[in-house]
Amino acid sequence: MKTLALVLSAFVALEHLGFLGLEMFAWTTPLGQSTFHTTPDFAKATAPLAANQGLYNGFLAAGLAFALWRGDIGAQLFVLGCVIVAGVFGAATAFINILFIQALPAALAFAATLAANR
């Protein structure tokens, strides 16, 4: 179970590195626009906001990677909890798919981490 918890948590960290890349560097590209369903004008106008959002996703990835590296279960659960909250909020306010792309993997990692450390 510990291996599953580590793999799922690492996956969540990698996902957030991917979000960082999309939001900070690809927001105004065709890939970014198709991923986030934006128009070229909207993407250009909101690029600074997206870059800021990407930076926050990078902090989530860094926090989770740091917790995994240190073996700090409390920090790991805290960051996964933050990702779950962000995913639920994003699903409620932006796209429902965020629930499955962001919150569900974090919830599975959270549950596996709890189960592995009982």
List pLDDT tens digits, range 63-115.
999 999 999 999 999 999 999 999 999 999 999 999 999 999 999 999 999 99
Phi, psi angles (nearest 5°) of residue 95 = -130, 130
Query: Distance between CA 56 and CA 53 in Å, rounded?
Result: 5
Q: What amino acid occupies position 32? A: G
Return the residue matching tokens 């989530």. Answer: 60
The answer to whether the beta carbons of residues 17 and 58 sit under 8 Å apart is: yes
**Could you give the number of structural domains in the chain?**
1
DSSP structural state of residue 117: T
C-alpha 32: how far from its chain's center?
16
Q: Note the pLDDT tens digit of each residue in 29-50.
A: 999 999 999 999 999 999 999 9
Range of the domain at 80: 2-116
Written as six digits, the tokens of 3 are: 């291996």
pLDDT at 76: 98
Confidence of residue 14 (pLDDT cuts 50, 70, 90): very high
- Helix, strand counts (H, E) of the chain: 6, 0
- Average pLDDT of the chain to the nearest whole number: 97
